[in-house]
Amino acid sequence: MTKIFPFLIIFIMMAMIACAEAVTITVDDDIEGANYKSIQNAIDNATGGDTILVSPGNYTENVYVDKELKIVSLSGNPADTVIHAANSENDVFNVVADNVTISGFGISGAGMDQYGDDKAGIYFEGVNNSVIKKNNVFSNGYGIFLLDSYNNTLTENNAYMSGIGGIFLWNSSNNKLNNNLINATNHEGIYIYTSSNNNEISNNTVSYARFGIDLIYLCENNTITNNIVSNTNLGIFLRESSRNFLISNVANFNGWSGIDLEYSTENTLYNNTANFNNNNGIHLIESNGNKLAYNNASNNMEYGININNSSRNNILTGNIANSNGKENIHVVDLENNTNSSAQELPFQGSVLTIITIITIALILGKHL
């Protein structure tokens, strides 16, 4: 009995800890009534499952999150609750725990470390089932960076003036990126890299980046839907990535192509719009077995849809291409690609309308 008793006490204590209710901890940089003046002190003294509620103010610190927490601004307005890196050689938020929420902050000031590596406004490493929501992430090396992280949701964030990219996923799968705004990044807008699979990228707006949305090197089964990409060097770019789905995206007014596939196979492009680009609407280079259906590629400077001579076994169905500079639908190797697209003449709709009006007038004239 004496041997069992200590174990019984430990069991009861563990049960009491597990049943303890999560608490809300307050942070305010200039009000005495708050629990803490810094976010990091609140985290250090919190228990997993707690909520840290941050009052409006300017906080100069780098925040390390190693436990399950909700860290949210009181106002929900990132313009009045701003966290600026105390040390620009570190990430502003460095998160290594699962089930973390970061919401409602302005986040800035992460630069480059002593080794030349760019740091992020929000950095996840090995993080799962977490949420990044309604943050303004600006003037950082990376806006938001996920490494080896799964099943996270990034929604309604603004990432702009980032040195390398707005949102970057590396070997990170099953994440949801939706309703984010990426603006004025010098390099990449949304960058999906190296074996990042089964991500859902939807309803994002990307502009003034080098590449709008990239899938680079062995990224598979990602779904890219209802995104708007404009005024970038290249709109949506896939390289060495297969079996992805590009559906109902708008890629207009980009410097090179609206949508560009290189060395990428078995992807589906459906109902996308790629108009007014400086070169191609849709361009395939050494890309095989892709399906292009019901896309609109019109008013581009060079080609509407351009399938180069090293791309084979692609199927084009019901695509529309009007008023492109050189050729509407250009398929170099017709024997090894199938094209049943509804390639239209420029202004076909207007011509049909005029013909219809004239025909009706002639018929009515005969009966008068």
Confidence (pLDDT) at 20: 58
Q: What parts of the chain have a pLDDT lower than 50?
A: 1, 3-5, 7-13, 15-19, 344-368
Helices assigned H by DSSP within the chain: 4-19, 39-44, 348-367
Please give the pLDDT value at position 32.
Answer: 79
Task: Decide if 232 is inside a domain.
Answer: yes
On whether residue 9 sits in a domain, the answer given is no
Instruction: Say if 211 falls within a structural domain.
Output: yes
Q: What is the structure's pLDDT at 18? A: 46
pLDDT tens digits, one per residue of 54-92? 999 999 999 999 999 999 999 999 999 999 999 999 999
The pLDDT of residue 309 is 87
Q: Is residue 13 part of a domain?
A: no
pLDDT value for 159:
96
- Residue 309 lies inside a defined structural domain of this protein: yes
Q: Is residue 202 part of a domain?
A: yes
Question: Which domain range does residue 319 map to?
Answer: 111-367
Half-sphere exposure of 132 (CA within 13 A, CB side): 33
Per DSSP (E only), the strands in 171-294 are 176-178, 181-183, 188-193, 200-202, 205-207, 211-216, 223-225, 228-230, 234-239, 245-247, 250-252, 259-262, 268-270, 280-285, 291-293
Domain total for the chain?
1
With respect to residue 191, please indicate whether it lies within any of the assigned structural domains: yes
Residue 343, classified by CB atoms within 10 Å of its CB into exposed (0-12), middle (13-18) or buried (19+), is middle
Q: pLDDT tens digits, residue range 159-176?
A: 998 888 999 999 999 999
Is 303 within 8 Å of 328 (Cβ atoms)? yes
